Amino acid sequence: MSPKTVPTAPRKMPSSKVVRPQVVITTSPRPTPAPRHMPSPPNFYGMLQHAVKQDGHQVILAVLQHPLFAQAVIGLCNTAAAFSSTPTDRARYLGSIGWTFADQANFPLLADQKGLYDTLSATLDILDHKAATDSAAVNSFFVFADAIIKTENNRRELQCQCKAAVVSLSILFSINIFS
């Protein structure tokens, strides 16, 4: 009689080994440098176009984004200042941008933009003002820059007058109190 097998608990199956692929890391004798991304310079003209609303004749109807507009103007003026060319060429470059405004309603707000007054003042010093007589486009830039500078100068003068008035009133008030 053959020995009978007695039923017992189920038998465990042998665990299967999970085979993972072997990764071989090789190193080269010289590491290759990662390619560097050279950032392109900002497109100041494109920024200017995004900051304004223009009609079909490229007349600026409104400035939609004052800080972006100021940043674009500052960048364009700095670009012109970096040219190693004549003051007339710098003026022609800035005139080629298109500075014809339908009105000057935005100018007080533009004059308040940080750095714009100083940049325009410095830029006017390096340009040939005679170039404005030869070109209406160059003249438009000079009209724009002069208007911004005059607006800011008027605002600063009014601030000084207000401060002087406050000082005068405080002096008069103090004299009246102690009299």
Top-confidence residue, 12 or 102: 102
What is the predicted pLDDT for the residue at 57?
A: 87
- Convert the pLDDT of each residue in 107-151 to its tens digit: 888 888 999 999 999 999 999 888 888 888 899 999 999 999 999
The b/e string for 55-71 (b: 16+ C-beta within 10 A; e otherwise) is: eeeebbeebeebebbbb
In whole angstroms, give the CA distance from residue 100 to residue 61.
9
Contact (Cβ atoms closer than 8 angstroms) between residue 140 and residue 94: no
- pLDDT confidence of 162, banded at 50, 70, 90? confident
Residues 95-108 pLDDT 10s: 888 888 888 888 88
pTM, full prediction: 0.68
Task: Please write the tens of the pLDDT for every residue from 13-71.
Answer: 555 565 566 655 566 566 666 667 667 778 899 999 999 999 988 889 999 999 999 99
What percent of the chain is helix, strand and coil (3-state, nearest 5)?
A: 55, 5, 40
Whether 4 shows a pLDDT value over 70: the answer reads no
Residue 94 is predicted with a pLDDT of 92
The pLDDT, as a whole number, for residue 171 is 77
